[in-house]
Amino acid sequence: MKIFIDTANLDQIKKAHELGIVDGVTTNPTLMNKESGKSAEDIVLSIVNLVQGPVSVEVIGRTAEEMTKEARKWFAMNPEHIVIKIPMCTEGLKAISMLHEENIPCNCTLIFSVNQGLLAAKAGARYVSPFVGRLDDIGHDGMKLVEELVDCIDYYEFDTEIIAASIRHPLHAKQAALVGAHIATIPLQVIEKMIQHPLTKKGIEDFEKDWAEFKKTSK
């Protein structure tokens, strides 16, 4: 399973990138808003230059014409790595279809059902992003959606990858891997929790203590 980091904060991306586990980045208008004071173009280019992998940038237009116009501008900044994030809706599907014809990769976001994911894949989305945490918030099984989408996409051999999104805790990341998600996009704070385990911490402390005692007694 590939791991993307879900943020527009360059410092957080650098920390994750240094671990050698980041395959790409996802952003959205909310995450971009947290980096106010910088231009959107500067933020995106800084991320792309660091990660050298897929970087999802979301359009804010409401019509297919508006979305595709924005998409072409973003994509032109770095055709090798920029992916256009488009919300699931009627106009979004039209835009994805149009951009697919232009070989501009799209990430269809705000997916909450298999039907939505299937339609996005049919329209030509390179990625579809089911939101696990938000479904859990309203009493649904978000990870079950990921599992069903993986089965559907793989069965029909779509050239589409499932990005498990809205990951809230390490259990989500584990479950995404176990159900076969192609990608999980994960906030830095969750990645940091994935690293930790109390037995690992204790083991390191015990080894350090034993090594110190050995050094005292060895010649």
Q: Where are the domains of the chain?
A: 2-194
Contact 142, 131 (CB under 8 A): yes
pLDDT of residue 67: 98
pLDDT in tens, 86-97: 999 999 999 999
pLDDT of residue 218: 83
- Does 94 participate in catalysis according to the annotation? no
State how far Cα 38 lies from the chain centre.
Answer: 22
Looking at the chain, the whole-number percentage of residues with pLDDT higher than 70 is: 100
pLDDT in tens, 20-63: 999 999 999 999 999 988 899 999 999 999 999 999 999 999 99
Quick one: which of 96, 57, 109, 108 has its CA closest to 79? 57
- Catalytic member of 34, 85, 209, 219: 85
Query: Whole-number mean pLDDT of the chain?
Result: 97
The CATH class, in words, for 2-194 is alpha beta
pLDDT in tens, 127-186: 999 999 999 999 999 999 999 999 999 999 999 999 999 999 999 999 999 999 999 999
Sign, CA dihedral 88-94-97-103, equals: negative
